[in-house]
Structure 1
Amino acid sequence: MASSSHLTDIPQAVRIAASIDPNVNAELKQQAIDYLTKVRQLSQETWQDCLALYLQGAGAAGPSNPGKDGKEKLETDLRMFCEQVVDTALTQSDIPSEAQKAMYTAIIEFVETEYVQGPCEGGQAFLRNKLAFTIAHLFLNAYPITIPTFLRPLFALLTPTSTNFHPALLTLRILTEIAQEVHDVTLRSARKFSKDRQQRDGEVRDVIRSSGDERLAMEGMLGLVEKGLDALEQGGEGKWLDVVETTLKTMVTWTPWVDLGVSLQPKTLSLYHRLLRSSHIPLRTASANIIKSLAAKGVQDPQARLEVLRVIDIVSLVDPLESETRGVKDNEEVVAFRAAVAGILSAFGTELIAFSENVSNKGPDGADSK
């Protein structure tokens, strides 16, 4: 990473700008704010120094403590400013491929030092989620051309130890951020249309499907759910409930656009049914949402679409779930679950209508009758 006076000036400026000491000279404080504004505006020139400051002290017990690199980890607000500059560069600038590779290497090393071997930022979820956002946007810049194996080291983190779930939660958040960027209909419709971005999103989805990354992602998440469900059913609560629920919510964002051969198999269907019988209502709700997305899958071939609905066997699946929870009105979790079950039926009905219309528009020889 390039070195410059920013490495000392940025920390000083952030401390002055953030100071609540009434004795701090007002003019000096304004100069610090103006300087930091310029640093942000020139993110394409300053992001490397900001990244170095953010990563400094990885593995330290906390701010002002030395990390594996022998340097002190900086204050959280200072690191957050630096990360925002990096994010600005990732979302608004064209970073050269070699610089993308250097950033990727540095961040993966940070994840290993801080999250796999270290204190995981003291378990602070907002720092983990902020890092996931940064990694996801680096992914969108570098995948698949510059770094085709970008996700592989992160998939390896989906197998947590019994005491450290943070690496797995980091990967799950990254996968959620990616899915929201390249597929989420609501988020994509809310942003200004860009033909280039539309094309990029489609290419990313296509390569994830064709490269084997979708299989590694789904298998990693399914394995995580199965392991967590085993622990929960054996009486182990702790962090596993949060991990399983988070994993299922991530799967909900991936299931609509990954290949059915990955997300719908005898083993996975059995797991979804097992989740629907869980004593933990949020897990049942998340599983119902996955099944809903499977039922609504945009399969082009009408016969294949009908086969998907037959395999899921929605009517026999939904009926006991509805009967079991009927009449419960004062439990928000149960109400949410019933809404998810209703969503399955709605998707099922919509698909049957579409199938019926498709058949009615075909002549006896299968040709379009119109």
Structure 2
Amino acid sequence: MSTTAPALPTELVLGNVRVETPVVLAPMAGITNAAYRRLCAEQGAGLYVCEMITSRGLVEGDEATKRMLVFDELETVRSVQLYGTDPRHVGRAAEILCNDYGVAHVDLNFGCPVPKVTRKGGGGALPWKRGLLAEILEAAVSATSRYDVPLTIKTRKGLDEDHLTYLDAGRIAQETGVTAIALHGRTVEQAYSGQADWEAIAALVDHVDIPVLGNGDIWEAADAVRMVEQTGAAGVVVGRGCLGRPWLFRDLAAAFSGTPTTTVLPTLGEVCTVMRRHAELLCEHMGEERGCKEFRKHVSWYLKGFRAGGELRRALALVDTLATLDTLLAELDPDEPFPVGELGAPRGRQGAPRKRVVLPEGWLDDADGAGIHVQEDANEATGG
């Protein structure tokens, strides 16, 4: 890693998109919908990416895919992540996003570790096929450049420690005209387990001339600062660290503006205010019944470490109206301090490393793969 800490970046520039703070909300399936993006944006500046959609689903007019392409009225920079394994579908989908949806930034997912994706050669498995990766990127850059929309990619270190792909992926991204690359410092085999390898992020920074964004193990604003100082990354991508903690973007904005990174910890009453706002936004976008159902998954993240009793937690996890939510939140102690033991602790899914990376038969036999087209589902939902 670098021995001298570089000056902290104060903004992130992706082509003609200028982000006030060099922070990107990672697309997370079922999480980063329009309501959650609005909630995070209310906390601090950054680039907030729509949950990932499939290129084939968009090209074929799949209704479920189109329902995911909803943007808040105050969302001035529309950002979407695409998943795809066919250059023709990816290129056409990128064009649809730019032309029909007014998207200002397109990201491509080459980092998903989910077996149902990697077994078809998608997500984190795809960069092993260097030729196919180049074909996809050429098609996507050709489409987005016509609209002056920056294209970025997100990837992982590789399949496992014996099959690393990130340096080749960075080189190919730069050669094909990709604006920036985000690296999650884990392999597909690791999934979300273990510790992210920030040294790999630093190596990629040294390997390419385009901006590199670092991803992995950013639980507090101080982690983001430390990552940038140690790797020279142009910014950070935050995923699981903001689950139940959208105010992390407030802390990140302060940290990158030069304000000391001491976290301002909310009381349980302040957390309840954010919970209520989150549920309200979900209901505005989805209707009260569906919005409340969507909110349920967030309850355990918001209350992680607090003393709320099991019965109350269960009731909150079954909330069906905003009125019921108000009644239940009123039972919590508003003065209870934030559980400091949760600071710096992993959030969301972790699990164990994969016993093996599930790949198409013969996938490792050829690391070129130019011209190969693998099957992709129209409504695949993944995360990276």
Q: Specify the TM-score bucket, using the shorter chain as the normaliser.
A: under 0.3
Task: Give the alignment's TM-score, normalised by structure 1.
Answer: 0.26
Task: Give the alignment's TM-score, normalised by structure 2.
Answer: 0.25
Please tell me whether Structure 1 or Structure 2 has the larger radius of gyration of its CA atoms: 1
Structure with greater helix share of residues: 1
Structure with greater strand share of residues: 2
